[in-house]
């Protein structure tokens, strides 16, 4: 593996866990944050023993400032940073522009610094949307149709960013080893109270904020497996990962089944999880007034089952069971005092 790696988005859920493991493996890590003044103390507190092996740089996805310094001396880049909202934005470009420009900016400066390997954290959102309703199963060869009017801003942003990143590498840096990691919703243990959107969903399910289970499902993958996939993408031989596309999912689960799993595996913590379904008409009734319901409305009754077996085979790992992941998520929330 490379000895010095840039991990963008060091304060994020995946980025933080990846930094954790890279430092534990003895690597030197550069990381970018939007505001060094706001973030460096938090990062230094988490990795107090890292010393000079952790360097923090201020760099925004929509500005050139700081990127050359962040990339200098790095052998590889894991570009994790990308906006992920809890509510739908008013304008699609609020997500599309920073996702696309951030990926291309990171690539340009990485190439300019002589970086040989670039791992893009994309998403299953770039795979499983905009398809005919009868299509329910997806793999690494599928692409979201970003031109479809049914596709929401986040899925558009991830699709456009990944496609344009691949095109840029093919045209401008054909010798660079590029691949993408495309996880579904990421769950698992947490390090602090800065919760990702996926983790917040579990929190809301068990504290009574979601009193009824909407008729929707999501793919589940453990953050520890996402980090292992990134590790492998940084470490395996060039020809194994070059141009690879690695969707990550252990299981597709309906929200009612997620709630039942939490109640069965941690009953002392999950007493408020929904036991009754949320009628579709209620989601539709509330969608004009609540952004969260607006996002749920488009997913009612839809199966988006993403096959993660190709990734596990190529990258060399076995998935943690989704049920274990959900239990570990809940117990970690409790350990951090984040369950009401």
Please compute the mean of the pLDDT values over residues 321-325 and round it to a whole number.
98
Please compute the mean of the pLDDT values over residues 191-197 and round it to a whole number.
90
pLDDT tens digits for range 243-269: 999 999 999 999 999 999 999 999 999
pLDDT tens digits for range 56-80: 999 999 999 999 999 999 999 999 9
Residue 83 has pLDDT above 90, yes or no: no
- In the chain, what are the domains? 4-335 (3.40.50.720)
**DSSP state letters, 155-195:** HHHHHHHHHHHHHHHHHH-TTSEEEEEEESEEES--SSS--
Output the pLDDT for position 38.
83
Output the pLDDT for position 289.
64
Residue 301 has pLDDT above 80, yes or no: yes
Taking CB atoms within 8 Å and a gap of at least 24, the contacts of 171-178 are 172/107, 172/108, 172/111, 173/107, 173/111, 175/116, 176/110, 176/111, 176/115, 176/116, 176/117, 176/118, 177/116, 177/117, 177/118, 177/238, 177/241, 177/242, 178/117, 178/118, 178/119, 178/120, 178/242, 178/243
pLDDT tens digits for range 45-54: 999 899 999 9
């Amino acid at each position: 593996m490379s000895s010095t790696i840039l991990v963008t988005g060091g304060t994020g859920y995946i980025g933080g866990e990846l930094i954790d493991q890279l430092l534990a493996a003895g690597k030197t890590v550069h990381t970018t944050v939007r505001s060094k003044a706001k973030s460096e103390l938090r990062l230094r507190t988490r990795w107090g023993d890292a010393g000079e092996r952790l360097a923090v740089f201020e760099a925004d996805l929509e500005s050139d400032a700081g990127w050359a310094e962040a990339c200098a001396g790095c052998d590889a880049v894991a570009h994790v940073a990308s906006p992920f909202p809890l509510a739908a934005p008013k304008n699609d470009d609020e997500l599309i522009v920073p996702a696309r420009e951030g990926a291309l900016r990171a690539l340009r400066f990485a190439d300019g610094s002589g970086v040989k390997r670039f791992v893009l954290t994309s998403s299953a959102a770039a795979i499983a949307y905009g398809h005919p309703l009868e299509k329910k199963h997806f793999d690494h060869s599928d692409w979201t149709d970003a031109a479809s009017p049914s596709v929401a801003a986040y899925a558009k942003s991830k699709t456009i960013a990944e496609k344009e990143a691949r095109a840029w590498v093919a045209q401008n840096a054909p010798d660079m080893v590029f691949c993408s990691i495309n996880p579904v919703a990421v769950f698992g243990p947490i390090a602090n109270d800065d919760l990702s959107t996926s983790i917040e969903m579990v929190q809301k399910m068990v504290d009574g904020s979601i009193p009824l289970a909407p008729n929707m499902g999501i793919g589940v993958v453990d953050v520890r497996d996402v980090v292992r996939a990134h590790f492998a993408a940084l470490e395996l031989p060039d020809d194994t990962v070059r141009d690879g596309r690695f969707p990550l999912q252990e299981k597709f689960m309906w929200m009612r089944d997620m709630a039942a799993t939490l109640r069965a595996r941690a009953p002392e913590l999950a007493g408020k999880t929904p036991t009754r379904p949320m009628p579709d008409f209620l989601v539709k009734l509330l969608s004009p007034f609540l952004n969260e319901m607006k996002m749920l409305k488009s997913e009612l009754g839809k199966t988006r089952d993403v096959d993660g077996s190709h990734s596990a085979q190529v990258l060399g790992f076995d998935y943690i069971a989704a049920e274990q992941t959900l239990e570990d998520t809940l117990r970690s929330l409790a350990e951090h005092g984040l369950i009401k």
